[in-house]
Amino acid sequence: MAAAWLYYALTLLPTLGPIGTQAAADRYAYLPCLGLLVPLAWGITSYGYPRRLVYFSACTGLIVLLGILTFRQAGVWKNTATLWEAEIRQYPAAPFVHGDLAVAYQKEGLLDQALEEYRKEAGLSPPVAVTYDWWGVALFQKGRMEEALEKFKASEALDPNIAETHWYLWFFSQQKGLYDGAYQEIQDAIQLQPETTENYNSLGMTLGSMGKLGQAQEAFETALSKDPQNTVYMANLAATQLKEGKPEKALDLFQRAALLQPLDFSWPFKMGEVCLEMGRAAEADQCFQKAIRLNPRDPRLPGKIAEVLKKAGQKGLARNYLGPPTHERPNP
């Protein structure tokens, strides 16, 4: 009995002060509570009637109580949002709790609630760069672009060493056609996180927009070397090679992408376009037929293919993709 109480006291000691960055957590009581059960179990097995009945009743009552508490606590631990909602009820003035709840809401698509929690966090603590980044993403998801941009700029002013912030600012600059600014932002992101593959793809997009096709190709090749099965990088590199007059290399990339995504009709469609550019009409026809087989429910696809063939001067092939007229034939 004494040993059980000693175990309880010793295992409870570490939880009397903050552990790491956390002041309290349910799991801190798991091991200490085992010590409370030992005396009750010992009493049931060591005493005769009626003291055994007393211990048995105490154990039964404890099990019922713990069952009720478990059911109640399970509601708190239902998901991340309910957990942080419970924390806010306990610590309404803790800014990081509002921030974590905002992130939880945002991941569940509850953007209005997330924005409200970010606003509360900002009102309770000095500005934090990471908070402004998440806040900006939430605003972007709501379609409030200018407000999102303001948050990303505020984040950069607070901490210019966050690569993700520079990527967000690159995105806005790229969308607005401010390619010099976009180039500088993505270069900063690469300097801070050279291992992030997407940064090189973004760099290639900006260089391509600036007309620097050779450098754009190098950037896309770097991205693809880091992620060899990324079909988006393949498509971007292929598009650049087409602009540089290298259809054979572009076709090879589209073929690789088609092997990785054999059910995606867009790859044989792109392959058909490249084959037409190379004057290989028969191969183009085969690719277009495959695209239709993969996507037979899209009634617009044959018409698109016919338009591509007409522009390439293949009017005879184009007629094969045009169905019968939809209007009724006049009576003779």
State how far the alpha carbon of 254 is from the alpha carbons of 40, 257, 303, in Å.
Answer: 71, 5, 22
- Per-residue pLDDT, averaged over 88-115, amounts to 89
Q: Cα 144 vs. chain centroid, distance in angstroms? A: 19
- Per-residue pLDDT, averaged over 22-32, amounts to 65
* The pLDDT value given to residue 92: 85
Q: Which domain holds residue 26?
A: 2-76
Q: How far apart are CA 165 and CA 153, in angstroms?
A: 8
| Amino acid at position 193, single letter | Q
Structural domain contains residue 212? no
Burial 211-238 (b: 16+ CB within 10 A, else e): ebbebbbbbbebbbebeeebbebbbbbb
Question: Residue 214: which pLDDT band, with cuts at 50, 70 and 90?
Answer: very high
Q: How far apart are CA 229 and CA 272, in angstroms?
A: 22
Q: Are 304 and 315 in contact (CB under 8 A)?
A: no
Q: 29: closest CA among 72, 88, 70?
A: 70
**223-244 pLDDT, tens digit each:** 999 999 999 999 999 999 999 9
Q: Cα 221 vs. chain centroid, distance in angstroms? A: 24
Q: How far apart are CA 165 and CA 98, in angstroms?
A: 21
The total domain count for the chain is 1
Structural domain contains residue 49? yes
* The pLDDT value given to residue 326: 42
In this predicted structure, which of 40-44, 46-50, 327-331 has the lowest mean pLDDT?
Answer: 327-331
Share of the chain above pLDDT 90, in %: 52
| Amino acid at position 203, single letter | L
Structural domain contains residue 103? no
State how far the alpha carbon of 95 is from the alpha carbons of 109, 116, 124, 148, in Å.
Answer: 21, 13, 5, 21
Structural domain contains residue 107? no
Share of the chain above pLDDT 70, in %: 87
* The pLDDT value given to residue 189: 96
Mean pLDDT over the full length of the chain: 86
pTM reported for the whole predicted model: 0.71
List phi, psi (to 5°) of 326.
Answer: -80, -20
Question: Residue 325: which pLDDT band, with cuts at 50, 70 and 90?
Answer: very low
**296-318 pLDDT, tens digit each:** 888 878 888 888 888 888 888 88
Structural domain contains residue 7? yes
Structural domain contains residue 12? yes
Q: Cα 158 vs. chain centroid, distance in angstroms? A: 24
Say how many Å lie between the first and final Cα of the chain, rounded: 108
Structural domain contains residue 60? yes
Q: What is the DSSP string of 109-123?
A: T-HHHHHHHHHHHHH
Question: Residue 125: which pLDDT band, with cuts at 50, 70 and 90?
Answer: confident
In this predicted structure, which of 118-132, 191-205, 264-278 has the lowest mean pLDDT?
Answer: 118-132
Q: How far apart are CA 98 and CA 5, in angstroms?
A: 39
Q: How far apart are CA 329 and CA 221, in angstroms?
A: 55
Structural domain contains residue 10? yes
Q: Could you give the dihedral angle defined by the CA atoms of residues 130, 135, 141 and 147, in that order, rounded to the nearest 10 degrees?
A: -120
